[in-house]
Amino acid sequence: MPEHSKKQMITRKSHFYIFLIIVSSLIFYSSSIVSERARYLDDLEDWSKGSVIIQIDANNSIKFKVLIAESNKERRQGLMHIEAMENDEGMLFIFDPGRNVSMWMRNTPMPLDMIFINKEGRIINIAKNTTPYSTKGISSGGIINWVLEINGGLSDRMNIKNGDLVSFNLIRDPDEE
């Protein structure tokens, strides 16, 4: 075989190996990103925890264990990619100072009820059974300090309504109460 053909063959082989290394690296990197996405609330280990109690009438209240989204990064992530929650779980978004808020369901695979709470701790609006994956804005309907996200349809089943009083217990581990 002529010397020129040997050099071309070696060059092709090295390009092929470089190509394989790049493709393998991309596959490994992309699969590691997907595997790191939280699918359940328990996967968000480093988030602050707490509890929210909604007083639905003089004798009855409902308690939720929540993860707390307080930083901009946490609020942006929210429940994205979370596939399921227990009926006593949710996420509490904190907005300080209070403001008009618009939420969305981008990359959120399950319907939610979004409960908007003002600075007095009163529910002023509930967006029920929001549409999974929607990027349509969901308005708070006024100035709020908190948004509680729970499973879609739960506010109707538990008789949660506008005007109900909400209290918060923001702690590191809700199981220590």
Both 55 and 16 in one domain: the answer is: no
pTM score, whole prediction: 0.77
Q: Are 112 and 163 in the same domain?
A: yes
Contact between 148 and 64 (Cβ < 8 Å): yes
User: How confident is the model at residue 104, as a pLDDT?
Assistant: 95
CATH label of the domain that carries residue 70: 2.60.120.1140
Domain of residue 96: give its range: 41-172
32 and 45 housed in the same domain: no
pLDDT of residue 89: 97
Q: Is residue 177 scored above 50 in pLDDT? A: no
**Residue 91 within a domain:** yes
Q: What is the pLDDT of residues 136-162, one digit of tens each?
A: 999 999 999 999 999 999 999 999 999
Q: Based on the domain organization, do 26 and 56 belong to the same domain?
A: no
138, 102 in Cβ contact below 8 A? yes
- Does 7 lie in the same domain as 76? no
Q: What is the pLDDT of residues 109-126, one digit of tens each?
A: 999 999 999 999 999 999
Q: Is residue 177 part of a domain?
A: no
**pLDDT (0 to 100) of residue 141:** 97
Contacts of 84 (CB under 8 A, 6+ apart): 40, 110
* SS3 call for 115: strand
Tell me the average pLDDT across 102-115: 97
In a domain, 49, yes or no: yes
In a domain, 123, yes or no: yes
Same domain, 6 and 57: no
DSSP secondary-structure letter at 131? P
Q: How many domains does the chain have?
A: 2
